[in-house]
Amino acid sequence: MTNSYTAILSIHGIGRHRRYANAGALLSALEAVSGSTNSDNVDTIIEVLAGIELSRDPGLRDDVPMLKLKRARRRHGRLNVGASFRIYEVNWSPDTRSGIPGWAMLGWTARLVQSILRTDPSNWLLWPRLRLARLRAAADRSATPALRHAMVVLASAYRKYRGSLGARHRELNASKPLFADYVDFAKKHAKTAATESNIDEAAVAWRDERLPCEKSVRNVGRLTLTGLVLMVLGIAVLISMLVGDAHLGPVWRLGLPAVLAAVSGGAIALGRRFLTTIFSDVRYWSALDENEKYYETRSAILDRATATLRHLVSDDACGRVVIVSHSLGTAIAYDALRAIGLYNLTRKRSPELWIKIRKVECLITMGSPVDKLTLLFETTGSKTFREEMMREELRGDETAMPFWVGDRQRIKWLNFWDPADPVSDALTIPLGAKPLGSSFVPTDIENVEVANTASHDPAGAHTGYLTNPAVATRIFNEIFRPEVFAIGAQRDYSRSRRLSKFQAQAGITGLVFLATVFVVAHFIPWSWAMTIGVWMGALALGTSVACLMILAVWPLDR
């Protein structure tokens, strides 16, 4: 079709976003990468126009705006105009504009920290998605084919163990669904050449495996608790100095409360704004239960994304779709694709009713919390394991439609993550652990580690993906030159250098250092004539405690 085009769909992350802002930011990043129209053999973007088209889906209340553009390349002095592209966006920010009250967010955040620090249930029937993701990760890292095969056997046995065969086994043996009982079941029902020793070794490796998201979430949880303890301790020390030290003059007695009130008030105001207007987006999206108060908002966001996808793929002129998403928008894109896949699966015998989601060729995620969201909100205990089994099977992953259709993966997944970004991870959970012969279904997520900032700047690392030339260049190639990178192909991707771990921690160490010095200096007998030696000792001790605390609480190398 001569008028065919590639649709590029941008889905933003948390926070308040103006309409057209994300489509404009994506185009600006692509234009920064594209070459000049005066250069030979370099792809460039030309004929950029704003447009609007009639909605083709009843789920969209308004007509759909977009940016039209074309790719061109100059050869031997002549500009050759190539394919056409259109940039669309899913702006879901209006769905969460009302925010959530501060006290409600504070209580939810406290429960979230509690869930971060929880431990695995001993019941081996629970948390199947997380357990199977660990098994897949252990198998991918396994050095020997025999051990990988044993892990596939364990995956098959685990599904049986959670079914009627496992229930009969536990009833006959009067056993509880613990790890040892499961391993015993797996050995009895293994109908392969996997030896008993391989199964034992594979089971232990599986039990001890932890995903990248689990490690980073626990680091953040420990850091948050440590920060809260230090904040409370610092306030207590200041108050005790104010009340208990008679040598403080009236200026200090009046000035300290004023400074303390100003600092506390500013911190509370900033914290309240972050919780109610930014972090509240996570609260909306985590409402998975239909009985929850904010479930309707989550449904509205998901409906907006799926309706936009249906609008794009229903156009016969649209030959290809590329999704570019950031932060929470990556989870929205993933769930929208899963929802459409489930819709098509229920109409498997009537392909004429399918949504043409096969047009989606590539999902690009930046700073994705998909694994963290699964760990914190989708990994829950149920009253019965049958309830959890049904929930897990219907959620789907990369082994199901629309990612995997027939005998291969149809949607390529490219994930950019920065170790300094507390939101992002190298994604593993969506890969699934579905046995296929003597191995797992070969699903693939290309996790590309990048460095968006020169120092350890969490906020800059999370927001700096499109401004990173290496990231923008790779996205440009995926959109305009998809033949360069195929699923599972070998790649050479270099990332910029980051400052050392010691330099990265210096800023945070300074904050902890101040609080520690307050504590140490306050409990040492002192007067206004305090000697330099005592001060130096207090500073040295405070520095040592601060450095040890940071190294223990926040390991940056994930």
CA 66, CA 68: separation in Å to the nearest integer? 7
Q: Which domain holds residue 184?
A: 128-208
pTM of the model: 0.85
Domain identity same for 177 and 324: no
- The per-residue pLDDT for 384 is 73
Residue 188 sits in the same domain as residue 87: no
Q: Classify burial at 289, counting beta carbons within 10 Å of its beta carbon; exposed 0-12, middle 13-18, buried 19 or more.
A: exposed
Burial 145-170, CB ≥16 within 10 A → b, else e: eebbbbbbbbbbbbbebbeeebeebb
Q: What is the pLDDT of residues 182-202, one digit of tens each?
A: 999 999 887 666 677 889 999
Render pLDDT for 446-466 as a digit per residue (tens, 0 to 9).
999 999 988 778 889 999 999
Handedness of CA 95, 101, 106, 112 (dihedral sign): negative
Q: Looking at the structure, do residues 299 and 175 belong to the same domain, yes or no?
A: no
Tell me, yes or no, whether 70 lies in a domain.
yes
Q: Are residues 341 and 464 in the same domain?
A: yes
Same domain, 151 and 45: no
Q: How far is CA 304 from CA 60, 117, 326, 421, in A?
A: 7, 34, 16, 27
Task: Determine the pLDDT at residue 456.
Answer: 76
Model confidence band, residue 35 (pLDDT cutoffs 50, 70, 90):
confident
Question: 355 and 290, same structural domain?
Answer: yes
CB atoms within 10 A of CB 442: 14
Residues 35 and 156 in one domain: no
Q: What is the rounded CA–CA span in Å between residue 41 and residue 512?
A: 54
CA gap 276, 102 in Å, rounded? 6
Last residue of a domain, one of 208, 236, 258: 208
**Residue 549 scores a pLDDT above 60:** no
Same domain, 410 and 318: yes
Which pair of structure tokens corresponds to residue 393?
A: 């099977």
Q: How far is CA 37 from CA 168, 199, 467, 474, in A?
A: 71, 61, 22, 20
Which pair of tokens denotes residue 7? 């649709």
Mean pLDDT of the chain: 83
Q: Give yes or no: residues 306 and 383 share one domain.
A: yes
User: What is the three-class DSSP state of 61?
Assistant: coil
Strand partners, 44: 72
pLDDT of residue 380 exceeding 70, the answer is: yes
User: Of 477, 494, 517, which marks where a domain is finished?
Assistant: 477
67 domain residue, yes or no:
yes
Residue 512 lies in a domain: no
Q: Which two tokens stand for residue 497?
A: 């250098």
Residues 109-137 have a mean pLDDT of 90
d(CA 525, CA 545): 20
Return all residues near 26 (Cβ < 8 A) that are at least 6 apart: 8, 10, 87, 324, 466
The pair of three-digit structure tokens given for residue 490, joined into one six-digit string:
């070998």
Domain boundary among 208, 233, 248: 208
Question: Is residue 263 in some structural domain?
Answer: no
What the block records as the tokens of 341 is 């896949």
Q: How many domains does the structure of the chain reveal?
A: 2
SS3 430: helix
Residues 31 and 137 in one domain: no
Would 364 be classed as within a structural domain?
yes
- Given pLDDT bands bounded at 50, 70 and 90, which one contains residue 487? low
12 assigned to some structural domain: yes
Tell me, yes or no, whether 88 and 136 share the same domain. no
- What is the rounded distance in angstroms from the CA atom of residue 136 to the CA atom of residue 338? 20
Q: Are residues 94 and 133 in the same domain?
A: no
Nearest to 337 by CA among 349, 326, 321: 321
- Two structure tokens written together for 26: 């994506």
Kindly report the CATH number assigned to the domain that includes residue 294. Answer: 3.40.50.1820
**275: confidence class by pLDDT, cuts 50, 70, 90:** confident
Instruction: Please check whether residue 79 lies inside any domain of the structure.
Output: yes
Evaluate whether residue 231 is within a structural domain: no
- The reported pLDDT for the residue numbered 411 is 96
- Of 60-69, 295-304, 419-428, 491-500, which gets the smallest average pLDDT? 491-500
Side chain identity at residue 313, one-letter code: V
Q: Is the pLDDT of residue 40 over 50?
A: yes
